[in-house]
Amino acid sequence: MSQGLLGDPQSRAGINSPNRSFSASSVPSTPRSPGVTAFLREGSNWLYGGVFLSMFAGVIVLAILLGVSSSAKPQVEPFSDVVTTKLGNVKGMILADGTRQFISVPYGTIDKRFAPSRQVQPWSPAQKDCTGAQPQPICYQTPGKHASMKGKHMTEDCLFMNIYTPKGRAADALHGYPVMVWLHGGDFKSGSGSDFNGTKLVSAAKIPTLVVTINYRLGAFGFFASDELSKQDPSWPTYGGMNGVHDQMVALRWIKEHIHEFGGDHERITVFGSEAGAQSVCALMVSPWSRDLLRRAIMESGPCVGAGAPVSEADGIKSSLAIMDTLKAKSLADMRNAPAKALNDASTASDLTWSVDEWIMPADPIDLFEAGARGFNTIHVESAMLGSSLLDGQRTEVEKNVPTDKAGLTTFLTSAGLTAAQVTEAMTTYKLPATPAASDIKAAYRQIRADTCVTCPTKDLGVLISSIAYKPVIDTFMYRFAGPLGNATMGSEVDAVWGVNATQNGAFAFNVDLSNTMQDYWCAHHVAPHACGVSRAVALRRSEFANAAGAPAASIGTGKDLWPTYANTTTSGYACFASPHF
């Protein structure tokens, strides 16, 4: 019998069990408006009871604050490179600046391929070498798509995390450092926690924060869906399409139970991520199994609604069956016996992605968010920040089938489901000249994709979360990131947040002042929720610590209100259309 997230299945009847009285059909539905649902124009009302961070020509920086913990945990001496846990000792490394790192700490195990992960057991020998001296295990994935494979090796036994702690004891010694847990992106097919070195983030920010990065299963290893899987264990009847997200929950449970030994506060956990990582964060906010695992959430260019939502259970199974056909597998047993490399190759070539499994994700995320807006206990955070980059529809990979003339753009828009009137509206909104050049068409295409696939769903989700009138009200922050040169593409904010060229491809401009300011605000999680001038009394606000050159115009500790009221007089210059299929 699989033990899943919470250990013994018999323990699931307690506080952590999902509310089984909730179903998607029991949620009053919000009518989807036909045609253009919203145009972000002069006078538009972006948020009610929330916070909006507006875009400047040069850069946008953002903030989210984590409240003070209400319960105490004793903290061990943080200067030691050996930490004692209930699972055994963990030996890490103290760096020259006094920060510590613990690399490849195991958090979960998998009994067999496609099974739900479970908590790792105490290890033997009693001390685990987590100095980073050995090659770092990462999950099977599309090689080379996200980052360098140097110093890493792919394995199915890949559920490890990296822990980075600040120098010295936390100022709040009883509670420890606030904790930020990073979920990497990569389309649920590539990436690892090892792609991101947390030493910069924990040492450079003015507000010390403990940082954790994790691996989770990818591709078919983490998102294979099958009717057979749902029948394997009556106590865990999932189709498997969310096993990778379940891994994230197992990691968060490990952090909740053990992070105080490393000097962290288990009551102040913020989960943040970009792209697929942000989609995961979004899902964790509403999954019944993560109810007590996170306190605040940050989503960078990856809402789990609209184009970023998980596909249906049926579509997940269909994509999984296509992989079985590729491998000539006739059963779940055949899939479990297939060579890992062959399965990885077939997964890489497929369109498999995450899917609603009716267990980890019992319904479409938008239904769960809308249920929260109607008073159901389906949203599990106190505060959320979500935003997008200026050109989220453009990636650094080579683009294919980009239209170069007006007829091609029109075909693209109509094939995506837009009416003739909406196509005309799009041409006007994105300021296409009467006789556009190929460069004008390409620019409009990329911007429309960015706004439709990421910016608009992000805006809609932020409005929904911030409109909740029931208690507790969720503090909501929104941003739009333009980057130092005003041309930020998907993933470009990651470099600034991590303080280095984290994507390792040199594709994005990097501004040290911008990075420092973003890190300061990103890590401003252990102060009072309404510090730095933030007050729920002013519902609409924007950031004012960036200028066109990319350097901060104000900083933490100046006493200046960094979040003045947002003026609804700025023309947004983009539109949101209903039900596009980009």
**Predicted confidence pLDDT, tens digits, the chain (582 residues):** 444 554 433 333 332 333 333 444 433 333 222 222 222 222 222 222 233 333 322 333 333 333 333 344 444 444 579 999 999 999 999 998 889 999 999 999 999 999 999 999 999 888 999 999 888 999 999 875 445 666 688 999 999 999 999 987 776 667 888 899 999 999 999 999 999 999 888 877 677 889 999 999 999 999 999 999 999 888 889 999 999 999 999 999 999 999 999 999 999 999 999 999 999 999 999 999 999 999 999 999 999 998 899 999 999 999 999 999 999 999 999 999 999 999 999 999 999 999 999 999 999 999 999 999 888 889 999 888 888 887 786 654 446 788 999 999 999 888 878 889 888 888 888 888 889 999 999 888 888 888 888 888 888 888 888 877 776 778 777 777 777 776 777 888 888 888 875 444 444 556 777 777 677 667 764 443 343 333 322 222 333 222 223 333 333 333 333 333 222 223 345 667 654 555
Position 420 in a domain? no
* CB atoms near residue 401 (< 10 Å): 7
Q: What is the pTM of this model?
A: 0.81
d(CA 285, CA 293): 9
| Residue 195 identity (one-letter amino acid) | D
d(CA 189, CA 221): 9
* CB atoms near residue 506 (< 10 Å): 10
Comparing CA positions, the residue from 409, 489, 488, 416 lying closest to residue 452 is 416
d(CA 37, CA 569): 20
Contact 221, 347 (CB under 8 A): yes
Position 72 in a domain? yes
Count of domains for the chain: 1
Position 479 in a domain? no
Position 507 in a domain? no
Structural domain of residue 259, as residue ranges? Answer: 68-381
Position 413 in a domain? no
- Return the sign of the alpha-carbon dihedral for residues 252, 253, 254, 255: positive
Token digits for 543? Answer: 């950031």
Position 265 in a domain? yes
Token digits for 395? Answer: 């990636």
pLDDT for 342 equals 97
Position 390 in a domain? no
* CB atoms near residue 570 (< 10 Å): 15
* CB atoms near residue 153 (< 10 Å): 11
Instruction: State how far Cα 252 lies from the chain centre.
Output: 14
Position 245 in a domain? yes
User: Residue 80 is part of a domain; what is its CATH number?
Assistant: 3.40.50.1820
